[in-house]
Amino acid sequence: MLDHYLAFRPAEGTEAALVAALGEFGAAIVELASVREITWGENTNPSGRERGYTVGCFVRITDENALRGEYWHHPAHRKLLAELDRLSTDRFAIDY
């Protein structure tokens, strides 16, 4: 299993749109058999919020090959990636 965590610093006024885009993405990406779990929402941790990271996402996927393969190239992921520069000023992922 591979856990894929994402933290987002939304652009001003885009937090709701970012959460909605993650919801749309989540609804589509679960069609992949390699995706075991996906959640997203508002970050409630004060240390992250103080740095502007107010939205997070978590995906549990079968392995790194699936992440770099079918997940990465899925149309819903490609669409989300295309929107993230508009919706966030910074973001990062942690995989383990």
Quote the pLDDT of residue 84.
Answer: 97
Quote the pLDDT of residue 24.
Answer: 98
Tell me the pLDDT of the chain (96 aa) as tens digits: 999 999 999 999 999 999 999 999 999 999 999 999 999 999 999 999 999 999 999 999 999 999 999 999 999 999 999 999 999 999 999 999
Ranges of beta strands (E only) in 11-85 are 35-42, 55-61
Query: Which tokens sit at 43?
Result: 């970050």
> Computed over its alpha carbons, how large is the radius of gyration of the chain?
13
Q: In angstroms, rounded to a whole number, what is the distance separating the alpha carbons of residues 56 and 3?
A: 13
